[in-house]
Amino acid sequence: MTLPARNLLAEEASPYLQQHSDNPVHWRGWSPDALAEAKELGRPILLSIGYAACHWCHVMAHESFENDAVAAVMNRLFVNIKVDREERPDIDQIYMAALHAMGEQGGWPLTMFLTPDGKPFWGGTYFPREARYGRPGFVQVLEAVDKAWREKQQSLTESADGLTTHVEQRLAGAKGKAVLDRDTLADLAGRIDGMIDRDLGGLRGAPKFPNAPFMHSLWLSWLRDGHTAHRDAVLTSLEKMLAGGIYDHVGGGLSRYSTDAEWLVPHFEKMLYDNAQLVRMCNWAYAATGNDLFRIRIEETIAWLLREMRVDGGAFAASLDADSEGEEGLFYTWSQEEVEAALGGDSASFFRYFELAAPHGWEGKPIIRQGEAQQRQGVIDYAKLAPLKARLLTVREKRVRPGRDGKALTDWNGLMIAALAEAGRSLRRSDWVDASAKAFAYIVDASRDRRLPHSMLGEKKLFPALSSDYAAMTNAAIALFEATGDSAYSDCARQFIAELDRWHQDGEKSGYYLTASDSADVPIRIRGDVDEAIPSATSQIVEALVRLASLTGDTELWEKAWTTAEHAMGRAAQQAHGQAGIVNACALALEPLKLVVIDRPESPSLVPVVNRNPDPRRVDIVVPIGTEANRPLLPGGVLPPMDKPGAWYCTGQVCLPAVTDAAELEGLLRRR
């Protein structure tokens, strides 16, 4: 079918796609109809993949996609398809893998040229309209690709077939299973440790990303094997990034990454998933150290989340843009005169705790950051400092805000729901647990025929869910069960896994595909094994299966978790990078921890100890004395006595003797 010769993005559910609905380009969303049009016309496809908070996506849009002359060339030569990578990570991962296979460095916007049947034959990332930065101009690229297609179509088609086969083998293949052992985690953590910047935290060099999967590997290494150097690498990384410009000292929350090695100049976009992982990591760090820096940053970040990222119904938006009024970081940066005007005579007090930094080459206003001594003193004097920050925030709220991508993504929300529930437990913030529960209910209520959506924007919902959605929501349900004791959440977790099995499990029952079996518009059904800014879909699935099996004592579920983990590790062993999430999840499978606590609901003595000692390896089951319904099982199907307080700490199938004293339980949980 030939679609109308006009831009068709106005009715899409993605704010990113809607941003392009006024372009003179005849954009189509990714769909069977768009692919059919390319086949009918015999034209190659120009595929452009980006996301709402992507700075260079906006630059390329302004330079090329909004330009009538450029659009005319695109419309004449190609079928033009626009994809939001957050809506369709399955599509994005396929073509990003193809770009890497061509020897190119990845990034967004991703610009790929496909045969009419969707197979990639050439691509790149950002192209300027006119040749510069050592890159050809975009119209040059378009005309060169068209010329190659007309003159060398057969060879390009053969090349595309070979490239597609390569990508399929890498992203969708089965490599057999591997034995799970402790050495794998130790080896990964050792290699990561060798890349750590001992002075500035994070990985050496620039740009600097939070890299939560790597930090998680180091933290698990400390918990399992007692490597204090690995713990200290995580703590140093957190302290440095929380002092730098990558952290929003006025409003809370973390930016995507810093462009320099010192965490100073961020790429100012704020992503939901980065902040979910920050809250979780700071929660562990606070429990381990008692350093109030981590508690304060959790409180500030969640305050930002609830103030700026909630959508109608209680779920959370995907991201905030880096740009406002056409300038990156304008909303977040301050001149000294602006600070003095906002704070008057109190500005001198503010500058005792902060400095304004404008590094070489930075064209914007200075960025707020803290030195090491300023950060320490700011924590001590936080009661004095907080009102000054609040006054700056009030002034900042009057500025033109960056755009918000208001779609609620199920997997990213699952990450934040779990983080909120965990932090609410640890810091005795029932309001955070309530916010977590409200977001969870919103997403569950958006289901259709028991199937979760992947993305929601008001009344528009994108179905079907991805495997990462079911995994993240399973982990979120378990976190809410731990926080509330409500068995409805464990029931939801079972339902999510049932839907995951039905729509995503492979024919050999050895693992799962990212895309559902009834999704007809993907050229390849990939596994979802590779970490990006968040752990891979496969790693989240393994974690969900392990945690649910541990929670329920279901032996069939445990066999499924173990089989999935072994095959995931087998595939991971064949990959060069991006496998930390799978290794971390398989470490949980190798040594799952379970804590069953019976306590008095009116005056608990053991529960507060459990809550203030979170451990990512552990599943906690807390029930009141005298409970008969939903009685928890210890490994081996043993029922603990319900007539008096007690805590049973189990590793795998072995439980320690019951602990009844709070101090003894504290010592047990804090022992490494």
Tokens of 166: 């390569």
- 141 and 279, same structural domain? no
- 159 and 61, same structural domain? yes
Res 2: pLDDT:
76
Say how many residues make up the chain: 672
Torsional class of 607: left (φ above 0), alpha (ψ -120 to 50), beta (otherwise):
alpha
Instruction: Please report which residue ranges of 78-227 form alpha helices under DSSP H.
Output: 89-101, 138-151, 153-172, 182-193, 212-225
- 201 and 122, same structural domain? no
- The rounded mean pLDDT for the chain is 95
Res 179: pLDDT:
86
Res 25: pLDDT:
98
- 448 and 539, same structural domain? yes
- 370 part of a folded domain: no
Distance between CA atoms of residues 313 and 572, nearest Å: 39
Q: How confident is the model at residue 55 (pLDDT cuts 50, 70, 90)?
A: confident
- 355 part of a folded domain: no
**CA nearest neighbour of 433 among 267, 302, 263, 261:** 302
Per-residue pLDDT reduced to its tens digit, 413-451: 999 999 999 999 999 999 999 999 999 999 999 999 999
Residue 327: pLDDT above 60?
A: yes
Res 135: pLDDT:
81
Res 672: pLDDT:
53
**CA nearest neighbour of 330 among 238, 247, 401:** 401
Give the number of other Cβ atoms within 10 Å of residue 441's Cβ. Answer: 15
Q: How confident is the model at residue 574 (pLDDT cuts 50, 70, 90)?
A: confident
- 296 and 246, same structural domain? yes
What average pLDDT does this structure show over 244-270? 96
Cβ atoms 211, 234 nearer than 8 A: no
What domain range is 221 assigned to?
A: 182-330+405-590
What average pLDDT does this structure show over 93-103? 95
Res 91: pLDDT:
96
Q: How confident is the model at residue 497 (pLDDT cuts 50, 70, 90)?
A: very high
**CA nearest neighbour of 89 among 497, 578, 528:** 528
What average pLDDT does this structure show over 366-380? 98
CATH number where 156 lies: 3.40.30.10
What average pLDDT does this structure show over 382-394? 98
What average pLDDT does this structure show over 118-131? 95
DSSP symbol at 453 = P
Distance between CA atoms of residues 626 and 645, nearest Å: 10
Domain boundary among 145, 172, 199: 172
Res 520: pLDDT:
86
- 570 and 606, same structural domain? no
What average pLDDT does this structure show over 450-474? 96
Res 548: pLDDT:
98
Res 671: pLDDT:
76
Cβ atoms 68, 10 nearer than 8 A: no
Single-letter code of the amino acid located at 433: V
Domain boundary among 108, 138, 172: 172
What average pLDDT does this structure show over 651-670? 95
Res 363: pLDDT:
86
Tokens of 318: 């995907």
Distance between CA atoms of residues 63 and 131, nearest Å: 12
DSSP symbol at 65 = I
- 381 part of a folded domain: no
- 188 and 141, same structural domain? no
- 320 and 424, same structural domain? yes
Per-residue pLDDT reduced to its tens digit, 277-296: 999 999 999 999 999 999 99
- 473 part of a folded domain: yes
- 341 part of a folded domain: no
- 150 and 200, same structural domain? no
Distance between CA atoms of residues 577 and 562, nearest Å: 23
- 561 and 524, same structural domain? yes
Q: State the total domains in the chain.
A: 3
Residue 1: pLDDT above 80?
A: no
Tokens of 376: 């320490």
**CA nearest neighbour of 310 among 415, 404, 225:** 404
Res 133: pLDDT:
77
Per-residue pLDDT reduced to its tens digit, 241-252: 999 999 999 999
- 525 part of a folded domain: yes
Peptide bond into 136 cis (omega under 30): no
What average pLDDT does this structure show over 117-122? 96
**CA nearest neighbour of 570 among 191, 214, 179:** 179
Tokens of 423: 């932090």
Domain boundary among 575, 590, 605: 590
- 554 and 409, same structural domain? yes
Percentage of the chain exceeding pLDDT 90: 90
Distance between CA atoms of residues 649 and 640, nearest Å: 12
- Adjacent-strand bridge partners of 83: 49
Res 435: pLDDT:
98
- 44 part of a folded domain: yes
Phi then psi for 620, rounded to 5 degrees?
-110, 130
CATH number where 315 lies: 1.50.10.10
- 416 and 281, same structural domain? yes
Res 420: pLDDT:
98
> At CA 85, angle to CA 281 and CA 450, rounded to 5?
80
- 365 part of a folded domain: no
Give the number of other Cβ atoms within 10 Å of residue 404's Cβ. Answer: 18
Per-residue pLDDT reduced to its tens digit, 516-564: 999 989 999 999 999 999 999 999 999 999 999 999 999 999 999 999 9
